[in-house]
Amino acid sequence: MLLKDEVEMLRRVPLFSRIAPAKLKLLAFASERMSCREGQNLFSQGDTGDAAYVILSGTADIVVSSESGEIKVAELEKNSIVGEIAILCDMSRTATVRATSQLELLKISKESFLDLMNDFPDMAVEIMRVLANRLNHTTSELTAARSREQRVNS
Amino acid sequence: MEKGLTRYIWSNTYKQQIWILLIVAASMVPYFLSFDLPKRIVNGPIQGEGFETAEATQRFFAIAFNLPFIGPIDLFSGFELNRVEMLMALSTVFLGLVVLNGLFKFYINTYKGRLGERMLRRIRFELVDRVLRFPPVQFKRVKSAEIATMIKDEVEPLGGFTGDAFVQPALLGGQALTALVFIVIQNFWLGMIAASIVCVQAVIIPRMRRRLLELGRERQLTARQLSGRVSEIVDGIHTIHGHDTTNLERADIASRLGIIFQIRYDLYQWKFMVKFINNFLAQVTPFLFYAIGGYLALQGRLDIGQLVAVIAAYKDLPGPLKELIDWDQARQDVQIKYAQVVEQFDVEGLVAPHVHSVVTDPVPRLSEALVITNLVLSDDSGARLLHRTSLDVQPDETVAILGQNGSGGEALAEALGRILWPEAGRITIGGKDLLDIPESVTGRRISFVASDTYFFSGSLRDNLLYGLKHAPLTQAQYQGEDQRKFKRKLLEALRSGNPALDLNSDWIDYGSAGASGPDDLLKVIRPVLDAVTISQDIFDLALRSQVDTDAHQTLTDRIVEVRQALRRRLSEEDLGHIVAPFEADAYNRQATVGENLLFGTMKKPMNPQILATHPYFRRIISETGLGAHLYEMGLEIAENAVELFRDLPPDHPFFQQLTFMSADDIPAYENLLQKLQGTTIDKASASERSAIIRLSFSYIEPRHRFGLLTQKLMDEIVEARRQFYANIPADLSAAIERHDAQRFTASTSLMDNVLFGRLSLQEVDTTERIRAITRSVFAELGLEDHVLSIGLDFEVGSQGRRLTNVQRQKLNLARALLKRSDYFIFNRPLSALDQRAQDLIVTHVMQDLHKDGQRPAIIWVLPNAHVSELFDRILVFDNGNLVESGRFEELATTNGMFKQLLS
């Protein structure tokens, strides 16, 4: 895949939709193209996070290991971004990402990512929106889980 | 050491000095004769004295003595010669004397030179020997570079002076005196004039030189301190950068250099002042000779021959005199230097020489207990580190020492390691004080490891085996010429008081490591490396390093097998696609255009720049038409790069991705593009051409993704490659190692050799997986030990700095474990490692050391109580006191320090 095709794909990612094509091309050039085979871990819970990934094609699961074994918490689809939490908060990976089909990825290093956010406040807002959506999702899941728990206990 | 230099030189070289003095005395005879001769030539044949008639002859070479009581003895009546013959004969004698004098001088100088060099060798060795015997506390005070400067530079003039110490005053004094006496004999008053000027010189000049000596001493001290500071800067470079104090260091050095400049300039001024006065005095005398002597000659009270002889003789007077004065200055200068050096090396409490004696026989096991009696330890400032403590450790006992940092346990361990000498009390084994036991026992049967490591520059193997090199065990055998050379070297060493130890002997004590010789050494090293968990690191080092193909032929011969096994494994694990192999007639998309064209690796000193200017290479590029295409490609790359990066600040992180140019190149390429866009190669100048083509050489399609590499271009590149190798000239074929699937490439790393292709980095974790697979392939083929051996060739750099701190500590421990001592003392040897890793290694070591039936004593200062259960006895220190001692079970159940530490 060529740089200009990647730019096209990146434009379809909501996060980058408002960024000028020239800048996107630069981002694409500065990022590494990676692939990940089905069943392989893109990264594992507890690893140190040094990059975020944009999924260009394929699907993956987000899996968290707990005392009762692995729990799948979400699915990732084409055009989504993953791994940004570890970069933003300077912490280790909070979950494992496992490919459920052949993944084509763009690996955006920590520096590049932070730099983009500085240059494009729009993108920072977009990231906030994504994170807020996830939080919202997590909260509703938690609420559901708690109420289930109460029902079981009562 | 002798306090006075003269005495030191005399006591070491008096035999040679007497011999050379005799030679000098003998050389005086022809020297004196050569003074008298000019007078005889001028007065005799030239002026005609004794040749009043044309037929007059004189006897030449008559040997006759007029001895008292016996009367004249005529040994040889001589030849009858006429005036011209006499002139020729006397002149020939003069020439003969010149040659004889020259030969004497040659012999004396060579002899003196050798004497001096031997002396220098002796004194340097003696100084280093003293350094080796310094008590530990001395090393806290001295700077290594200052010691090195003293041994290397400051004693150097001593060597030169040794030869001259006695000979020079005798020779020069003799010469000056001869000349003076000769002048006095010719004319008493002229002689007196010369003598009085000499006296003035001899009194004034040394006085003026006193200041010179003072300055010389200051120069020596400041220069020594400068080298000390420079080495501090080098050693502490990270601290300096860490605190932004480079400018403080600059200021310090600048001020030191200022002081040195001042001293040297003073010295310079004084030196030439003294020279001026000296020269003036020397020149005044001939003035007096010409004026007074000429007047006397005019009056007829002095014949012209005498005056010529006096002036000729005087020519020889200032020379020796000046040298004599120089000698005196050198003597004082060297004496001061010597005194200063000796002062630094005359240290109280040197280790006795017998402690370091060479022992080649195996040292028997230490089977007695280590007894510590009333031991008191203090630090440099006198603070107590350990209060009166007594205990003993049995030869098969394992003891864990616990306590806070600075609670006394470490100090005790250091005392056992002889790094800290007791203030009171004793440490004994079998009744003998630890400090009196020869190091051949303590250095072999006792091993001490602390957290600070030291590695000598050399290979990892050298450093690992360093602990086994106590004495030359097998003599190196020499044949023929080498044997003669060796004997000469040995004799010379003995003459300079150096030991007759041969560095070429095999010093490795295989037996004490449990091996029988060099061949199975690796078998005993391997478990030790595994125990300290460093095998993986060494394995990785091996993969990254270039292989010495002569030393590791077994592996290099089997490289094809390794490559095949790796391919097989990769395809078994469905990873076949992550390595793009090199194929002679195909383009490798994961490699750069340049690599594809070259299809090989360059041996040093060949590099891309040299290759690019090679006429053959240029011809191939232009003849195949590839140059034009690569030029077009380069233009497009430049265009893309400029477009992408034009507006970025030069320190932007994205520039890391731009492998083929740097941020500074962007404006230059922008200009180039404006000029060259849309042109063909023939419009560009040579330097523009290479600037553009250079870009396409580093292009990798899957990485840069500009979409520039068409199938046609790839075919062209492969074709150009074929043509390049078809008629390759000898100089290029010697400098380029072509990729060959059947052969090992010496000029590239082991990993590249195994892969024989380029990794496609596009898949997650590729590198780690390849590494793991490679290791298991080597294990499968039984080549793992060979790979480790390649890793052991790694050069560790100055002070082992090419290794990480963690690696150094692990290797430091491994080095001691190899020795198989009877007592192991470990003083927090792994402080750089995290807790889990430390505990793991402690467990390994405790198991391994007690595995093959031997039970050495182990005294381990542990960082915490986790693994203390592995030890027979636990000692808990607090505040310099031994507070608890007992077995794990006992201490764990009593309420005390240990229980606190355990929780």
Option in A3, A34, A112 nearest B705 (CB): A3
- How far is the alpha carbon of A30 from chain B, nearest alpha carbon, in Å? 5
pLDDT band at B226 (very low <50, low <70, confident <90, very high): very high
Q: What burial class does residue B662 get, using C-beta atoms within 10 Å of its C-beta: 0-12 exposed, 13-18 middle, 19+ buried?
A: exposed
CA dihedral of residues B537, B539, B541, B543 (deg, nearest 10): -140
pLDDT band at B803 (very low <50, low <70, confident <90, very high): very high
Cα–Cα dist B697/B591, whole Å: 10
Interface probe with A: pick from B705, B761, B768, most Cβ of A within 10 Å:
B705
- How far is the alpha carbon of B587 from chain A, nearest alpha carbon, in Å? 18
Q: Which residues of A touch B643 (CB under 8 A)?
A: 22
| A37/B763 Cβ within 8 A | yes
Q: What is the pLDDT of residues B674-686, one digit of tens each?
A: 888 877 888 888 8
Nearest CA-CA partner of B377 in B409, B340, B413, B422 = B422
Is residue B400 within 8 Å of residue B412, measured between CB atoms?
no
What superfamily does domain B370-456+809-902 belong to in CATH? Answer: P-loop containing nucleotide triphosphate hydrolases (3.40.50.300)
Q: What is the pLDDT of residue B761?
A: 65
- Residue B91 has φ and ψ, to the nearest 5°, of -65, -40
Q: Which residues of A touch B705 (CB under 8 A)?
A: 1-3, 6, 28-29, 33
Q: Count CB neighbours of A18 within 10 A.
A: 12
Q: What is the pLDDT of residues B152-207, one digit of tens each?
A: 888 888 888 888 888 888 878 877 887 788 778 877 877 888 888 888 877 887 78
- Residue B446 has φ and ψ, to the nearest 5°, of -125, 135
Q: What is the pLDDT of residues B760-790, one digit of tens each?
A: 766 777 777 888 899 999 999 999 889 999 9
| Interface contact A26, partner B, CB < 8 A | yes
Domain ranges of chain A: 3-153
Which of B110-114, B328-332, B765-769, B846-850 is least confident? B765-769
Q: How many CB pairs under 8 A join A and B?
A: 55
Strand arrangement of the beta sheet that strand A103-109 belongs to: A32-36, A103-109, A51-57, A81-82
Q: What is the pLDDT of residue A87?
A: 80
Nearest CA-CA partner of A21 in A11, A12, A30 = A11
Option in B645, B653, B706 nearest A3 (CB): B706
Q: What is the pLDDT of residue B64?
A: 63
Cα–Cα dist A79/A15, whole Å: 9
Q: Is the pLDDT of residue B372 over 90?
A: yes
Contacts with B, A 98-127, CB within 8 Å: 109, 111-112, 115
- How far is the alpha carbon of A130 from chain B, nearest alpha carbon, in Å? 25
Q: What is the pLDDT of residues B299-320, one digit of tens each?
A: 877 777 777 777 777 777 777 7
Q: Is the pLDDT of residue B128 over 90?
A: yes
What is the rounded average pLDDT of the residues B723-752?
89
Q: Long-range contacts: B670-679, Cβ < 8 Å, 24+? A: B670/B642, B670/B646, B672/B638, B673/B635, B673/B638, B673/B639, B673/B642, B676/B635, B677/B635, B677/B639
Q: What is the pLDDT of residue B262?
A: 94
Interface probe with B: pick from A29, A44, A56, A107, most Cβ of B within 10 Å:
A29
Q: Is the pLDDT of residue B61 over 70?
A: no
| Interface contact A36, partner B, CB < 8 A | yes
| Interface contact B643, partner A, CB < 8 A | yes
Q: What is the pLDDT of residue B68?
A: 67
| Interface contact A85, partner B, CB < 8 A | no
* Kind and range of the H or E run holding B834: none
Q: Which residues of B touch A2 (CB under 8 A)?
A: 705-707
Interface probe with A: pick from B644, B701, B703, B761, most Cβ of A within 10 Å:
B644
- How far is the alpha carbon of B573 from chain A, nearest alpha carbon, in Å? 12
| B762/A35 Cβ within 8 A | yes
Q: Count CB neighbours of B741 within 10 A.
A: 14
- How far is the alpha carbon of B706 from chain A, nearest alpha carbon, in Å? 6
Q: Which residues of B touch A37 (CB under 8 A)?
A: 574, 763
Q: Which residues of B touch A29 (CB under 8 A)?
A: 644, 654, 657, 704-705
Q: Which fold has domain A3-153?
A: Jelly Rolls (2.60.120)
Q: Which residues of A touch B654 (CB under 8 A)?
A: 26, 29-30, 112, 115
Amino acid (one-letter) located at B811: L
Q: Which residues of A touch B706 (CB under 8 A)?
A: 2-3
Q: Which residues of A touch B652 (CB under 8 A)?
A: 115
Q: Which CATH architecture has domain B5-63+71-345?
A: Up-down Bundle (1.20)
Q: Is the pLDDT of residue B400 over 90?
A: yes
Q: Which residues of B touch A115 (CB under 8 A)?
A: 652-654
Q: Is the pLDDT of residue B522 over 80?
A: yes
- How far is the alpha carbon of A24 from chain B, nearest alpha carbon, in Å? 10
Amino acid (one-letter) located at B815: R
Option in A29, A30, A35 nearest B763 (CB): A35
Nearest CA-CA partner of A45 in A69, A64, A60 = A64
Q: What is the pLDDT of residue B69?
A: 72
Q: What is the pLDDT of residue B75?
A: 67
Q: Which residues of B touch A56 (CB under 8 A)?
A: none
| A26/B707 Cβ within 8 A | no
| A26/B648 Cβ within 8 A | yes
| B702/A36 Cβ within 8 A | no
Domain ranges of chain B: 5-63+71-345, 370-456+809-902, 592-738
Q: What is the pLDDT of residues A21-55, one digit of tens each?
A: 888 888 888 888 888 888 888 888 888 788 889 88
Which residue ranges of chain A lie beneath pLDDT 70? 1, 154
- Residue B417 has φ and ψ, to the nearest 5°, of -85, 5
Cα–Cα dist B98/B90, whole Å: 12
Cα–Cα dist B717/B629, whole Å: 10
Identify whether B286 is preceded by a cis peptide bond (ω within 30 of 0).
no
B447 or B79, which is more confident? B447
Nearest CA-CA partner of B868 in B202, B403, B319, B309 = B403
In whole numbers, what is the pLDDT of chain B averaged over residues?
87
Q: Which residues of B touch A83 (CB under 8 A)?
A: none
What is the rounded average pLDDT of the residues B562-572?
91
| Interface contact A41, partner B, CB < 8 A | yes
Q: What is the pLDDT of residues B650-708, one digit of tens each?
A: 777 777 777 788 888 888 888 888 888 877 888 888 888 888 888 888 898 888 888 88
Is residue B367 within 8 Å of residue B23, measured between CB atoms?
no
Which residue carries 């074994």 as its tokens? A69
Q: What is the pLDDT of residue B62?
A: 66
